[in-house]
Structure 1
Amino acid sequence: MDLFTAMQVGGSGLQAQRTRLNLTAQNLANANTTQTPEGGPYRAKQVVLGTENGGNGHTFQAALDQASRPQPEHVTVQQVNESQEPAKEVYDPSHPHANEEGYVAMPNVDTVTQMTNLMDATRAYKANTQTVSAAREMAMNALRIGQ
């Protein structure tokens, strides 16, 4: 793998983790939002990450070529899913969005899970930053050899 490919792979990881960080921040910011424009409480969102490689197709020869020369895999955001867990019912008859029995439908955002996701995404972002920095430093050292 050449240095530019290493930078591209690290860059794709940075983009994916940035999306993950943004969604986690959005979930935490809306942890108490009881009404959305669509109606009902906010639903937590999750990002699904996957890989995309530079393979040559799905032929037998392409599989042999890829086995002998593995292609780097880039991280991509496959989709963003809304949680299908039911809303939490909290008894608060004074709340403006309470139903006839006094219960309010609260978002299904678990702050402990979101904080764990935030820490995990931050560490992954930092690791990708270090990958790009190391590749850049190696490229700069290679240029200095010629001086």
Structure 2
Amino acid sequence: MSMLTALKISSSAMTAQMTRLNTTASNLANMDVVGSTADGAYKAKKPIFKTMIENYTSDNFEASVKVNGIHVSDRPNAKSYDPSNPAANDDGFVFMSNVNSIEEMVDMTNASRSYQTNVEVMNATKKMMMSTLQLGK
């Protein structure tokens, strides 16, 4: 595996983690949004990652991470009686989003740490490439 391959792998992982951070931010931003129906209420989203293996041989391969899609949570939305809410249905109920803020904060922390780890991998790879260039001096 070449050092450029290591950079490519880390880059794809950073892109995937950025998507994860974006969906988490969207979930947290819409956490308090209500709807008049269960289908109209906000539903949490999670990215689905897939490992991509390219140029596979018996002694070498290139792997990367790809966002394969965004999963919409099927967790039921809580129903709350609030007839004064403008979004209330005819019976006076509103449906809350199904976002769990604790899960989202944990997901955000994990995505952030994974992103930072891949930054460190890129920095180490860059340092090794620079050291290799210095051998000829």
Aligned-residue offset at 1:70: 3.8
Partner residue in 1 for 2:85: 95
Report matched runs for 1:1-147 at 5 Å: 1-35=1-35, 40-56=40-56, 66=57, 68-147=58-137
Aligned-residue offset at 1:93: 2.2
Q: Distance in 1 between matches of 2:34 and 2:93?
A: 11
Tell me the amino acid that sits aligned with residue 108 of structure 2: L
Aligned-residue offset at 1:119: 0.5
Q: Distance in 2 between matches of 1:103 and 1:112?
A: 25
Aligned-residue offset at 1:129: 0.7
Deviation string for 1:64-91 (max 9, x for gaps)? xx3x314131011011111122211122
Q: Which runs of 5+ in 1 are unaligned?
A: 57-65
Q: Distance in 1 between matches of 2:50 and 2:130?
A: 31
Tell me the amino acid that sits aligned with residue 135 of structure 1: T
Deviation string for 1:89-119 (max 9, x for gaps)? 1222221111233221111111111111001
> TM-score, with normalisation over the residues of structure 2?
0.91
> TM-score, with normalisation over the residues of structure 1?
0.85
Q: How many percent of aligned residue pairs carry the same amino acid? A: 36
Tell me the amino acid that sits aligned with residue 23 of structure 1: T
Tell me the amino acid that sits aligned with residue 28 of structure 1: L
Deviating 4+ runs (over 4 angstroms): none
Query: How many pairs were matched up?
Result: 135
| RMSD over aligned Cα atoms | 1.7
Tell me the amino acid that sits aligned with residue 106 of structure 1: M
